[in-house]
Chain A
């Protein structure tokens, strides 16, 4: 059957189970859009390509499927870069399709030409430039395999316009070529597991450190089993939150710069830490030399380059987390751990009484009220900054995909477009996105997308008139020499939202009940602007250059 390259592309996407693409057309991607018309795949038009990438990312994080975004060549492709880097840092499986100038014009500085493969090389797991329509089917299949296998990540496929328009005799793609190599199991793994089990059984003060890799491996149930059987307290990195329900009795919270004191202290005092699917980013370890000084450290991860990269690992296992946990748990003994757990209980109680050191202030209370007003099946999305830390600390995340936050790259402007992707991925969930005014402006144009498709997300914008997190850092560590953080306070976000055709309201953070109720009852998209005092910071915080136990508490303004 004679078909065009674009037809083959779309057909292969359908075979890979794609039902949604976020994109923005341009001259060099038109053949693709032309084929997309005939397809059951739904294309959502965003208002900036960065939003297409974030939406695909949010979709993937909410569903576990591979997200797909589409842009044209040149500026369309370069607008994707921040979104691709965000997905790369958090290991989200993404397929990035970019139009490209015709093959004859490559390298000639043609109109709307950029070397997007060159530009994105460090932030993609792999990339392809297709020069023959007959290569499309197998390349796309391989790209999906790479995106979702091992440590997931974004894969870019550059598609010159003439290749998309050319004809090719179509035949179903063969099996994925063997050059994409799966890892082989070894006898060494069994030995490592025995060692890890031995430590867990003998350690007096063991802790599990959970990272984003557990969710990616779909190993959350296995993790719960290990925790319950061994009665092992656990902490998370920001990306690990939700792997186990937040209310689990062994949960100590999350560690690092903005983590809670209990978690950081317990890690510091532990004698054995089993790290699962976490890469010891500087946000979680702070000063590496002072991280967990008393502990033997074991690490299980699918990516060998994460082992021993930051923290010296004493025992390591490179492999699939789900398989590893399935083999580990039977070797772990049921232990009471009365002393260790008893001590932890006492510290938890003591901390609960000392609210001055562990606070998100009125914003934290507000977030809890929002959660109480929302149904059980609610997915929360954050932007970056104070809003992110308030949400991550105050929202009780019950499911692995219940909270979506750009931890690795810390991309402001992620929240709103990602929430669009999330809602498309889980249409029967309520989706709430928390942003600050700073991050909200970065992709504010997506209010048009929300309005156009009547995407019923609940948009909360904390407005403190400033770049809040930066303000806190300048206040505490730069001698209160505030500069370049004042957003001006002249923009009426409620009027803006209504101008975009979205229902909206404004409340003060301490008097928000009516606004929350209205937002909860809204059938369509709703924006709630929440006025917050610029002195409402987040505590505790680790000063730059200090270790995880040097947390700084403070008063809330």
Chain B
């Protein structure tokens, strides 16, 4: 397979320095981590890292093996297209004025977003959902004068087999 988006789920021991080692494997191979989510799982000693990188299948095989040999990496799985449920949350900061106010509020309503903060006409909008929906909201609001975006990056969990 050629270069495409690859999602890796990496289970690691929750210890200082583990993330640095994992990131180092990607960096050393010259690849960029496009998205990264990491937090404790239901066991506090174990964390789940969900990472996205753009690469071909040779690279992914290499990176999986090199991650697996790290002492604190428990398991590495590539989440293939269609195998996982994926979500993302973003916070969008946008200043409201006469020109954009109505459209922004309409968009918020249309896509079921939440305004979680409003001060001095600067509102922060929370958008959570599938990656496609999040992307659509960004494309709607973008031209309306978005000031900042903070993204969690893609979260994914493997679905059960049929």
Contact = CB atoms under 8 A, between A and B. Distances in A.
Interface of A: 117-118, 121-122, 125-127, 129, 146, 150-151, 179-181, 303-305, 307-309
Given A121-B24, A122-B28, A179 B13 contact: yes
Contact of A304 (B13, B28, B65, B70): B65
A122 B24 contact: yes
Contacts, number: 37
Nearest to B63: A305
B119 interface: no
B71 A305 contact: no
9 contacts: A118-B20, A121-B17, A121-B21, A122-B24, A125-B71, A179-B71, A181-B74, A304-B68, A305-B69
B17 A127 contact: yes
A304 B69 CA distance: 8
Interface of B: 13, 16-17, 20-21, 24, 28, 61-62, 65-66, 68-72, 74
A461 to B, nearest CB: 36
Contacts of A122: 24, 28
Contacts of B62: 305, 309
A308 B61 contact: yes
A139 to B, nearest CB: 12
A121 B20 contact: yes
A126 B16 contact: no
Given A125-B71, A127-B17, A305 B65 contact: yes
A341 to B, nearest CB: 37
A129 B16 contact: yes
Contacts of B61: 308
A305 B68 contact: yes
A157 B24 CA distance: 19
Contacts of A307: 65
Nearest to B68: A304
A186 to B, nearest CB: 15
Given A126-B71, A146-B71, A304-B65, 9 more contacts: A121-B21, A125-B71, A126-B70, A127-B17, A151-B69, A303-B69, A304-B68, A305-B65, A305-B69
B65 A117 contact: no
B57 to A, nearest CB: 12
Nearest to B20: A121
A299 to B, nearest CB: 13
Contacts of A151: 69
Contacts of B71: 125-126, 146, 179-180
A117 B13 contact: no
Nearest to A181: B74
A434 to B, nearest CB: 33
Nearest to A308: B61
B69 to A, nearest CB: 5
